[in-house]
Structure 1
Amino acid sequence: MMNIMRNSKHPVRTAAKEASHERIVSAAARAIRRSGYDGTGVADIMKEAGLTHGAFYAHFASREAMLAEAAERACTESAAIAAEAAASVPREQALTYMLHAYLSRENLEQVERGCPLAALGSETARQTPEVRRANTRYIKEMVDLVARQSPDWGQAGAHERALVTVATMVGTLLLARVVDEPALSDSLREAALKHLPIA
């Protein structure tokens, strides 16, 4: 009887730990985009997740391990949003729709939930190999997603245009967030949409 009761508690404890872990990673994924890697502290993340600071090491070996998982989550979320946008309209409209959604004022203002590349800029280059690997996978996913919308998908030209498109999207969003003049921010986004290689 005691063994049965002990075993029945184990899945509950595991589920609770997984739920706590999920809250920490979600909070950290938002925080790195909002405050940067260096501005993301363990105490603040744990507080945002509704957990004590002391519980952190039950989930991660180090702050760097948390940041790597947060980067992975931020990239996964952003890639999923882009893929959903592409799938929500007919294929011939998908790239235009994706570009307008990515470079929209709404996305510009949603730093915490937006593209981690635009939110974190050059900070990522100074992070651990795990963080950089997560971002590399995300960039490849985005390039592939953009290339697949091209009528000549599979050809070298489609891949090259996708590289230019993704680089322009990210750079434009980053610059549009950096400037302190709304008119200039709008002009940057509008110019990119006008000149990006759609086909």
Structure 2
Amino acid sequence: MKRSTSRSKQATHDRIVDAAARAIRRSGYNGTGVAEIMKDAGLTHGGFYAHFDSREAMLAEAADRAGGESVAMMQEIAARLPPNQALAAMMRAYLSEEHFEAVETGCATAALCSEMPRQAPEVRRVATRRIKEMIDLVSRQFPDWGQPEAHERALVTIATMVGSLALARAVDDSRLSSALREAALKHLSPTDS
């Protein structure tokens, strides 16, 4: 009986974290309230503290979940292709129209980077870890992986991808939005693939 209760509590916890991960990408950290998240998860506000010590603890788990989903998407692409093709495929997927439109399920870094400096340390810590994972994944696609130059190119690649997606979502001009993503993709495309 305890095992069933424990599984049920974990499933409920996961539902809350999933709802929070979508909500922070949709509305930002400050635009996301506990009551809204609990309602989206199909629960009452009163049950929140049975799962989290604080709003910040929930936001940290949501940031981790959202960041993990972004990393997993890129890892799946890298696993299917050889390194000399994987990086270009990751960039195309990241800067695609589908990813651009998928704010609630897309890259948490692009959706939330401007808010990150004002978040609690535990939220920033998990977001930083996920960003480092993205940088490392991109770095591993370069032929000189492990060298400082590959790491530096990975930093620039991630910064350009995230920045381009964030800017593309910020503007109200669809042609400019597409041009931002296309220009980033053109200038980031590896020449040695």
Same-fold call, TM cutoff 0.5: yes
Identity between Structure 1 and Structure 2 (%)? 66
The list of structure 1 runs, each at least 4 consecutive aligned residues, that deviate by more than 2 angstroms after superposition, is none
In 2: Cα distance, 1:44 partner to 1:100 partner: 34
Match of 2:119 among 113, 121, 127: 127
Structure having greater relative contact order (Cα 8 Å, sep ≥ 6) = 2
1:170-189 alpha-carbon deviations (Å, 9 max, x no partner)? 00000000000000001001
The amino acid of 2:146's aligned partner reads: G
Q: How much has 1:13 moved relative to structure 2?
A: 1.1
User: Which consecutive unaligned segments of at least 5 residues does structure 1 have?
Assistant: 1-8
The corresponding residue for 1:25 is 17
- Output the TM-score relative to the length of structure 2: 0.96
- Output the TM-score relative to the length of structure 1: 0.93
**Contact 1:24 1:46 (C-alpha < 8 Å) held by counterparts:** yes
In 2: Cα distance, 1:72 partner to 1:189 partner: 26
**Contact 1:176 1:185 (C-alpha < 8 Å) held by counterparts:** yes
**Contact 2:111 2:166 (C-alpha < 8 Å) held by counterparts:** yes
The corresponding residue for 1:98 is 90
Total equivalences in the alignment: 191
**Contact 1:165 1:197 (C-alpha < 8 Å) held by counterparts:** no
In 1: Cα distance, 2:149 partner to 2:189 partner: 11
In 2: Cα distance, 1:108 partner to 1:86 partner: 20
Tell me, yes or no, if structure 1 residue 175 matches structure 2 residue 167: yes
Which is helix-richer, 1 or 2?
A: 1
User: Which consecutive unaligned segments of at least 5 residues does structure 2 have?
Assistant: none
Q: How much has 1:197 moved relative to structure 2?
A: 5.6
The corresponding residue for 1:193 is 185
In 1: Cα distance, 2:44 partner to 2:186 partner: 49
